[in-house]
């Protein structure tokens, strides 16, 4: 049974990106596999944790990931908001972005990069997190890996070890 007083923070790594010669890091596109991963994660989110709000790094690969996710969410997809500090953001910068989310948001999706995504999940996960989800998140956080955390309090107060990691999804495409 799901508690209705809990909010959900979904932290996702972008899909697999290409490394084309001469292209700046910020402009690296998804590979075809990355697009498939992002679509699979979007389908999973549509069933498990459809977001009310999406914060996304302005890098091309994260924006493309969110495009695929939103295509799977369909008309329920909120308009993604670019958040500059998520590009090469640390766990502290990711948490700071979450701290600015309005309290009316019940499920927040953040799409960003390594190592910020794994560091943020491990920073926020409480001791009563699901062991399998913790092992999966800590064990490499693959491209398009998606962690779902239950947040019992206000977004503005989220800091460390105060959210329960309940699920980790890794697309197999």
* CA torsion angle 58 61 62 63 (round to 10): 70
pTM confidence score: 0.96
Question: How high is the mean pLDDT of the chain?
Answer: 95
pLDDT tens profile 37-65: 999 999 999 999 899 999 999 999 999 99
- pLDDT band at residue 4 using 50, 70 and 90 as cut-offs: low
In contact, 146 and 41? CB cutoff 8 Å: yes
pLDDT tens profile 94-145: 999 999 999 999 999 999 999 999 999 999 999 999 999 999 999 989 999 9
Burial classification of residue 57, based on how many CB atoms lie within 10 Å of its CB (0-12 exposed, 13-18 middle, 19 or more buried): buried
- Residue ranges and CATH numbers for the domains of the chain are 1-51+122-172 (3.40.50.1240)
List strand residue ranges (DSSP E) for 7-139, in order: 7-13, 53-56, 81-82, 107-112
**What does the block give as tokens for 113?**
């990069």
Phi-psi region at 102: left, alpha or beta (left = phi > 0; alpha = psi -120 to 50): beta
Please tell me the predicted confidence (pLDDT) of residue 23: 96
Alpha-carbon distance values, 145 to 32, 101, 114 (Å): 16, 22, 11
């Amino acid at each position: 049974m799901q508690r209705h007083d809990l909010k959900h923070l979904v932290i996702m790594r972008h899909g697999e990106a290409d490394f084309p010669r001469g292209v700046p890091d910020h402009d690296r596109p998804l590979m075809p596999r990355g697009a498939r991963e992002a679509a699979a994660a979007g389908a999973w989110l549509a069933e498990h944790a459809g977001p009310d709000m999406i914060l996304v790094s302005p890098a091309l690969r994260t924006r493309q990931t969110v495009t695929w996710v939103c295509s799977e969410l369909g008309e329920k997809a909120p308009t993604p908001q670019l958040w500059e500090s998520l590009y090469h953001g640390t766990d502290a910068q990711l948490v700071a972005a979450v701290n600015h989310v309005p309290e009316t948001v019940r499920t927040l999706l953040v799409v960003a990069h390594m190592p910020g995504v794994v560091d943020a999940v491990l920073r926020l996960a409480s001791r009563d997190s699901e062991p399998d989800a913790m092992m999966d998140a800590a064990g490499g956080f693959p491209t398009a890996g998606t962690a779902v955390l239950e947040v019992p309090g206000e977004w503005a107060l989220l800091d460390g070890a105060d959210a329960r990691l309940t699920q980790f999804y890794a697309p197999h495409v």
